[in-house]
């Protein structure tokens, strides 16, 4: 008898537990959703950089370069999020997922000039290398980033078909990488102070000696005064680059041998994001979403001391073959970059409400993402 009563009680407890679990699971699925969104908009960058000119050895004090500017910038992205509204009215919740951004723009500087100490190609002495550009340096930049957001949610329902959702939270940046393509070119000029034995010496004076040997535009003008119509400017530099102390050190409109490349940024930085969207029910528990978003991301350069130079050497192939010059992206001098993305988003929200999926049309006792309606 006792065993029968115990069996009946056990059955009743198991049945009650199963019913409670079923209710909890039903409640869980009524409040759980998946978002898939695409977004597009503009972006702005705040750049903290160390000037390239500070990294050249024994640079003359007349070095200068303009600040970096990021222009014509826009952003495209995608995100997938899983969210859960935890209160009875299903207004407050949390969500997390994955955000991907692909950001585009032009990074540039208006001017660049540096004069510094450099060894000759034959390593028999030193001279003053002069590098400058007579036009703006511009790079087309594409930055790709992957991050994990953690957001708090609020939702307000106007009716069964239309809700307004708001989210705000932080981002953990997993990775960021930038590709660049540059249109830069440079004039490589040189100035030599010669010893009594004609060994090249470095003239470190701000105003060079009048006896210095010049392979510069100014030197060319002086050459023309003595030999009018002798050589064109380009031919003069090409000749000087082929023999003598200036060999392999001078040239005009020298382009980078490698115009493309990439720069990595440190992972683990934090940012923040927010969105306001309208959600319109298309069918059952599927909603079309449209809204506006804002995201801020901050990245640090992987090169901790930023000791790169913009360019400092010509690259030779076969004898007499000029391949261009070495080049480091303008991003190399960046210590920290902060990017703000803002624009519009569009996507789909799907509530994982199993009960509502059974009905093609709404009924008075169906369970909606907002909960049962009072009759």
Q: State what percent of residues in the chain have pLDDT above 70.
A: 84
Residue with tokens 């005009």: 252
Distance, in Å, from the CA atom of 212 to the CA atom of 204, rounded to the nearest integer, reads: 12
The pLDDT assigned to 266 comes to 83
* Least confident segment among 270-274, 284-288, 289-293, 356-360: 356-360
Which residues, at least 6 apart from 208, have a Cβ–Cβ distance to it below 8 Å?
A: 128, 191, 193, 214
**Whole-number pLDDT of residue 86:** 87
What's the pLDDT band for 343 if we cut at 50, 70, 90?
A: very high
Query: Among 125-134, 154-163, 261-270, whose mean pLDDT is lowest?
Result: 261-270
Task: Give burial (CB, 10 Å; 0-12/13-18/19+) of 345.
Answer: buried
Report the candidate in 194, 231, 199 with the shortest Cα–Cα distance to residue 210.
194
Mean pLDDT of the chain: 84
Q: For the whole prediction, is pTM greater than 0.85?
A: no
pLDDT at 307: 77
H or E segment to which residue 31 belongs: helix 2-31
Q: Mean pLDDT throughout 18-29?
A: 43
For residue 41, give the H/E element and its range.
strand 32-49
In this prediction, residue 349 has a pLDDT band, given cuts at 50, 70 and 90, of: very high
248 exposed, middle or buried (CB, 10 Å; 0-12, 13-18, 19+)?
Answer: middle
Say whether pLDDT at 157 is over 80: yes
Distance between CA atoms of residues 222 and 301, nearest Å: 45
Cα–Cα distance for residue pair 354/260, rounded to 1 Å: 52
User: pLDDT tier at 13 (50, 70, 90 boundaries)?
Assistant: very low
| Share of residues in the chain with pLDDT > 90 (%) | 48
Provide the pLDDT confidence category of residue 336 given band limits of 50, 70 and 90. confident
Confidence band (pLDDT; 50, 70, 90) for 199? confident
**Reported confidence tier of residue 288, pLDDT bands at 50, 70, 90:** very high
pLDDT digits (tens, 9 = 90+) for 290-324: 999 999 998 888 765 567 899 999 998 776 677 89
CB atoms within 10 A of CB 38: 13
pLDDT at 148 over 70: yes
* Rounded mean pLDDT, 239-251: 89
């Amino acid at each position: 008898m006792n065993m029968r009563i115990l069996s009946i009680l056990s059955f009743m407890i198991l049945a009650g537990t199963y019913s409670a679990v079923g209710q909890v699971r039903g409640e869980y699925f009524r409040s759980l959703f998946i978002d898939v969104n695409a977004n597009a908009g503009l972006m702005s960058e705040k750049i903290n950089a160390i000037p390239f000119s500070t990294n050249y050895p024994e640079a003359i004090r007349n070095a200068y370069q303009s600040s970096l500017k990021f222009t014509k910038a826009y952003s495209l992205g995608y995100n997938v999020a899983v969210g859960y509204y935890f209160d009875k009215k299903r207004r407050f919740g949390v969500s997390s997922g994955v955000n991907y951004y692909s950001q585009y723009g032009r990074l540039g500087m208006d001017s660049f000039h540096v004069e510094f100490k450099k060894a000759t190609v034959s390593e028999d002495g030193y001279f003053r290398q002069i590098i400058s550009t007579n036009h703006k340096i511009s790079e087309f930049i594409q930055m790709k980033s992957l991050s994990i957001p953690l957001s708090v949610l609020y939702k307000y329902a106007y009716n069964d078909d239309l809700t307004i959702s708001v989210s705000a939270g932080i981002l953990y940046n997993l990775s960021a990488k930038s590709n660049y393509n540059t249109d830069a070119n440079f004039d490589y000029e040189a100035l030599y102070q010669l010893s009594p034995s004609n060994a090249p010496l470095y003239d470190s004076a701000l105003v060079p000696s009048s006896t210095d040997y010049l392979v510069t535009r100014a030197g060319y003008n002086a050459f023309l005064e003595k030999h009018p119509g002798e050589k064109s400017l380009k031919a003069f530099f090409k000749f000087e680059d082929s023999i003598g102390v200036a060999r392999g050190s001078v040239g005009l409109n020298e382009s980078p041998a490698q115009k493309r490349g990439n720069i990595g940024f440190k992972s683990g930085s934090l940012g923040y994001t927010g969105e306001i969207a309208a959600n319109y029910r298309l069918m059952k528990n599927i909603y079309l979403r449209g809204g506006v978003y804002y995201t801020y991301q901050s990245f640090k350069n992987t090169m901790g001391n930023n000791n790169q130079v913009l360019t400092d050497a010509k690259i030779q192939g076969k004898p007499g073959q000029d391949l261009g010059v070495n080049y480091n992206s303008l991003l190399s001098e960046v210590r920290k970059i902060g990017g703000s993305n803002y624009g519009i988003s569009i996507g789909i929200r799907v509530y994982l409400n199993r009960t509502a999926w059974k009905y093609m049309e709404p009924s008075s006792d169906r369970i909606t993402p907002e909960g049962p309606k009072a009759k």
